[in-house]
Structure 1
Amino acid sequence: MNFHTRKWVKPEDLNPNGSLFGGSLLKWIDEEAAIYAIVQLENDRVVTKFISEINFVSSAKQGDIIELGITATNFGRTSLTMRCEVRNKITRKSILTIEKIVFVNLDSEGNPTPHGKTKIKYIEEEFK
């Protein structure tokens, strides 16, 4: 799994307990997954279809640097399934895992449409 995005946990990201608010983290994950799906499917019209059980393993506190990792696990006819892990950048301790995030590829009318992709596209391939 590649960890491309890093976030610095700031005061506005905290819950009343002084740890990272789960809603902030889920917003970051949904955005990261959408960007990943757009790049993989080469279409900026994708939507979140499903997010499986979210397993909060540990917390993050103000000042922590966290990193989000997402990888494709399955290419459906109109969908892309991904797995996500969030970890502390310094300690490498896992903060959260999500086994399944599904995005659907849409046409200009907003209908699911086949994307024709079957394998992960790596950034190195962009520069060949």
Structure 2
Amino acid sequence: MSSDPSVTPHPVRESQSEMNEIVLPNDANPLGALLGGRLMHWIDLAAALAAHRHSRNYVVTASIDHLDFLVPVRVGDLVILKSSVNRAFHTSMEVGVKVWVENYIAGVRKHVSSAYLTFVAVDDRGRHLQVPPVIPESPEEQRRYDDAGRRRQARVAESQRKRQQS
């Protein structure tokens, strides 16, 4: 373990973030449904908050894994985004974001989407910085930590495959 305070391990809870957005007409298509790009933007912001909290540095988005929109979100709905760092590698972190839609008048909440994003910590010149390790404290956090390692292996293999094809 390093004595550098910038790489002192942090528990997952220190990166946990929550964003809430009310869907307004400007966020929607002509049918009143939330634009997918707007939701992706909010997911990226929620994930960046968690990555900032964990690394305590600037961060940039390196990748976004597969993203599905499971239920429609309408004008007037409340969108809830919860994020946390699942695992840190040398200079990168995987952040998980779970999204719900809530009709706060009816009191109904539904899962909209889950996403995994990779962020890289950088200094003010864009140079990569080492990030602190993650300390999983619960069985669920340990499962997400382990799953993040498998997803990273798959991303690296896919990246190598693409490089060989070009």
Using structure 1 for the length normalisation, give the TM-score: 0.83
Counterpart of 1:39 in structure 2: which amino acid?
Answer: R
Instruction: Tell me the distance in 1 between the aligned counterparts of 2:63 and 2:28.
Output: 26
Q: After alignment, is 109-118 or 3-12 more displaced?
A: 109-118
- The equivalent residue for 2:64 is 51
1:96 maps to 113
1:114 equivalent in structure 2: 130
1:37-59 per-residue CA deviation (whole Å, 9 max, x = no partner) reads 1111111x210001000011111
Q: Count the aligned residue pairs.
A: 118
Show the 5 A alignment for 1:33-44: 33-43=47-57
Of 74, 91, 99, which aligns to 1:61?
A: 74
- Aligned-partner residue type, residue 88 of structure 2: F
Structure 1 residues 107-116 or 5-14, which shifts more?
107-116
Structure 2: unaligned runs, 5 residues or longer: 1-12, 137-166
Q: Give me the CA root mean square deviation.
A: 1.8
* Aligned twin of 2:121: 105
Identity %: 29
Counterpart-to-counterpart distance in 2, 1:116 and 1:71: 14
Q: Runs ≥4 in structure 1, deviation > 6 angstroms?
A: none
The AA in structure 1 aligned to 2:133 is K
2:26 corresponds in structure 1 to 12
Query: Structure 1 residues 46, 3: CA separation in 2 closer, same or farther (over 3 Å shift)?
Result: closer
Q: 2:39 aligns with which of 18, 25, 28?
A: 25
Amino acid in the other structure paired with 1:115? V
More strand as a share of residues: 1
Q: Does 1:70 align with 2:83?
A: yes
The TM-score normalised by the length of structure 2 is: 0.65
Give 1:118 deviation, angstroms.
2.8
Q: Which residues of structure 1 form unaligned runs of 5+?
A: 121-128
